[in-house]
Amino acid sequence: MAFSGSSALLLVLLGFAVGAFGTLVGAGGGFILAPILLVLYPHDSAQTLSSISIAVVFFNALSGSVAYARQQRIDLRVGGVLGAATLPGSIAGALLVSQVPRQAFDLVMAAVLALLALWLLTSKPHPPRAPRSGHTHRILIDASGQRYEYDVPMLPGVLLSLVIGFVSSFLGIGGGVIHVPVMSQLLGLPVHIATATSHFVLAIMSGTATLTHLAQGSYRAGDGLRRSIALSVGVIVGAQLGARLSLKTSAPMIQRLLSLALLAIAARLIADA
């Protein structure tokens, strides 16, 4: 699909939909956008499409983080530590993606998405953890007065974030789609806090990956810069809508929506491969 006025409008609309849904489930939209770009631009390199996706993820995460900050649902202490832990992997992933053929990239993407979906569909939220030695005890009250109390094992969170930073930057999916289930299922954050904090972590990670791609010149090929701008315009607006919808959506529904979207996109990628 060549870049033109009509294609720019379609990309803006696509960005809006991706931003709204991605922010609703706390995943930043990259897990939807990256495979859609693979379908729309079958002849572009994995590096070009991954760089476009991760730039759009950054603007989505930034916009969503602003909205979630107003709701006071971001755990800045936990998010700051996990965000810093993603940085080495996010740089390495952005550098290494240029070495991978498209077909292999598509299959790896499909496998990662399918495994995440199955994990979400079969797992159950953990009850709040009792305070433990070596865990960080957190109490957070959001703008509506809702009180959240939970314990977070920070060392496992840091180690997992190192891996997530690489995988998400490499695939261009941003990492929120991995970090949300990790935060809620393994680290014990309430789902609504996990979705908001994930966006904050995502902004740090995707911003670093985007700067790495800029330094490499990844946006020079395939109208990469213009496509990134058109999509980013849409996601900035869509992210605000997604954050508002999250206030009216239950935690189990957020998890189910995320799982179904992952399965659908994984199936499409496997079929195309």
Give the contacts of 217 (CB within 8 A, at least 6 positions apart). Answer: none
pLDDT tens-digit series, residues 63-87: 888 888 999 999 999 999 999 999 9
Q: What is the mean pLDDT of residues 161-176?
A: 80
Query: What is the DSSP annotation of 196-258?
Result: HHHHHHHHHHHHHHHHHHHHHTGGGSTTHHHHHHHHHHHHHHHHHHHHHHHTTS-HHHHHHHH
Q: What is the mean pLDDT of residues 199-214?
A: 88
pLDDT tens-digit series, residues 212-252: 888 888 777 667 788 888 888 998 888 888 878 877 777 67
Helix/strand/coil for 87: helix
Q: What confidence tier does 123 reach under pLDDT thresholds 50, 70, 90? A: low
pLDDT (0 to 100) of residue 69:
92
pLDDT (0 to 100) of residue 218:
78
Lowest mean pLDDT, pick from 2-6, 56-60, 164-168: 2-6
Q: What confidence tier does 273 reach under pLDDT thresholds 50, 70, 90? A: low
Q: What is the mean pLDDT of the chain?
A: 81
pLDDT tens-digit series, residues 132-150: 556 888 999 999 999 999 9
Q: What is the mean pLDDT of residues 15-27?
A: 78
Give the contacts of 30 (CB within 8 A, at least 6 positions apart). Answer: 22, 53, 54, 56, 57, 60, 168, 172, 173, 174, 175, 176, 177, 206
Cα 133 to chain center, whole Å? 31
Q: What is the mean pLDDT of residues 183-190?
A: 86
Q: What is the mean pLDDT of residues 41-58?
A: 83
